[in-house]
Chain A
Amino acid sequence: MPVHDLGYRSWGGVVRGSVSRVLAIAETGCRLALKSTWVKRILLFAWMPILFWGSGLYFAEQTLQESTSSLLERSSAERAMQEIGREIRGEVLPLAVANELDFMPGSAALAAALQDADSNETRRVVWRWLLMTYFRYPQAAAMIFLLGFVAPGLVSRDFRSRAFLLYFSRPIGRLEYVLGKLLIPAIFLTFISTLPALALYVTGLFLSPDLTVIALTWDVPFRVILATLVLVIPTASLAIALSSLTQESRFASFAWFAVWMLGQGAWFAVLLSQAINMDSEPDHILEMGGMKGWSPLSLYMALGEVQNWVFGFDELKNVWPSLLVLVVLSMVSLAVFWRRIGRSIHS
């Protein structure tokens, strides 16, 4: 005989609101995604670049502080280091940035800031540039792989296993389902982009000479959050919409990677054709800004351009076509997702 009552018992506890239901959907989705070893690996690797960018920040801070500290307080060895620091900051780095990183956005502003005598202004630009490149290069790539593994199954799996009835026979509506599902990629992307970027910012604060740096760089965390939104909203919407179009996760996965590869391929084809037409190197075309108008062709480039604007390395008048593409893509994707869910419920 069981030691406890196995009969039915009534329940009269507190029932929570809609937010708890959204969180329940997101929590279950995250838990299921984390059962994949590949997802765990990608999450781990996505945090690796922070070490490299952290080193860059450390190096930048050392250079800034060495080049600006008082000569009188230093020993001869320290003075020699200081001289080297000044030389690196004033000559070597600007030259290196101008020559070697000229294909990267914001490199001209960075080179100019490095030559600026005002180290606070230099610090602001360097931090923003490091964070912008962090979002634009390693984290954008990590995002593509991570969502390629996490998102395709989020809705298609519910279609395949007819889990809709499990959701919609409960007191939840379409909005809670959509928000819950969107929250899953958003949580993963926040984990691999916002958290490390904010950690990088805090590291910068610890490395800086005093806390007045917070007053100078207060905008950086907000830019990081805005950059996260730019990264999350269009990509999560697209990934979820693709997932809702099929019952087979692999088709959604294929479509997801195809969108990025085809877009980037088309952009690259235009770059090559321009280089051939102008009898020039592709790097030179990029330096001259010859591909500006073509960025909306590639989702990756469009995201990058808007990230440049978010971190203050470009103006809105230059990036609005890319911004428009991202807004339209998000809206269309959400509309498709909304409609597909509606059909499933009411059919």
Chain B
Amino acid sequence: MQPLITLSGITKRFGAHLALRDVDLEIGSGVTGLLGPNGAGKSTLIKLLLGLVRSTSGSGTVLGQPLGRKNGRWIRSRIGYVPEDDCYIPGLTGVEVVRFSATLSGMDPVEGLRRAHEILDFCGMKEDRYRAIEGYSTGMRQKVKFAAALVHDPDLLILDEPTSGLDPEERDALLSRVRILARRHGKSVLLSTHILPDVQSVCDHVIILANGQVRLNQSLEVINRPVADVISVQMDSGIGDFVPALKALGYQAFVDDTGKVGIRSGDAALHESIWQVARETGAVVHTISPAKNSLESVFLKSIEEQADART
């Protein structure tokens, strides 16, 4: 199956600042999370995909069309974009904003109005759709932005921080809509966010961008898979003596960022050794389980690599 987005050696420079450096990427269908700290190049990457900025070097395709201004219009006609910033036309009501987006996408005005109501229904926007958008809460504005991005029935949705500023209930509702669109209606979604639980909740695939470079491009399933040959031990007490004692027995033991003890070994007698060392050192073991990579640890690791690269 042809990937939705392919980028090869994409570099984008704004004067002296290098926003993207030699990005090679393939994004398939489904929901892909785009993670990265501020200034990682996420917004530049999104603008590049929309054909709003031109890459300094490199090439790529979006929905099978080569990147660039020539195909920008076609690409944008098949993409729905929810920007991070509040962007609206003051004086228009919610339904007028969505209808306007529909007509900007080439819909007939009457059909656009009908479709705007249909999408606002889907987004859970009720009578408030007839109020001027300036008076909307953050949640309502997010709904209108989401509806405006969806009104022309795009193949690919690009959501830039769609849940920022939302309360938990609204956040769940929005993520649920993303899930429905992806699972039931075959839409592909690129979700750019800082909120890791959002990614964990809806994404199939994760891309971590840091310092303009792709640090990780992997499916969430692989990230969440147990780490081979590593056992994670959660201790209630005695961790200070427990780890050196294990090391003395020749095991690679370490304390991870979550405070658990990780032990790398293919030794079949490891479990027995753990209990023995615990008995000898007086440590209290809470649980023993296969070690898993958490999205958070993977993300933090990528950021650390970025910091290391800077220093």
Could you tell me which A residues sit within 8 Å of B by CB distance? Answer: 2, 4, 6-17, 20-21, 24-25, 27-28, 32, 35, 157-158, 161-173, 345-346
Contacts and interface: CB of A to CB of B under 8 A. Distances in A.
Contacts of A158: 89
B77 A15 contact: yes
Which of A14, A28, A165, A346 gathers the greatest number of chain B CB atoms within 10 Å? A165
Contacts of A16: 106-108
B104 A24 contact: yes
17 contacts: A2-B121, A8-B150, A10-B185, A14-B108, A15-B77, A16-B108, A20-B103, A32-B92, A157-B90, A161-B89, A164-B87, A166-B97, A169-B50, A169-B76, A169-B149, A171-B105, A345-B52
Contacts of A2: 121
A171 B76 contact: yes
Given A28-B92, A35-B91, A173-B73, A11 B101 contact: no
B129 interface: no
Interface residues of B, number: 46
Contacts of A169: 50, 52, 76, 79, 81, 83, 149
B52 A11 contact: no
A4 B150 CA distance: 19
A166 to B, nearest CB: 5
A224 to B, nearest CB: 30
Contact of A163 (B52, B88, B109): B88
Contact of A13 (B85, B91, B108): B108
A82 to B, nearest CB: 57
A21 B104 contact: yes
B172 interface: no
Name A's interface SS: loop
Name B's interface SS: helix
B122 interface: yes
B85 A165 contact: yes
Contacts of A171: 73-74, 76-77, 104-106
B53 interface: yes
B185 A167 contact: no
Which of A2, A15, A28 gathers the greatest number of chain B CB atoms within 10 Å? A28
B111 interface: yes
B122 to A, nearest CB: 5
Interface in B181-221: 181, 184-185
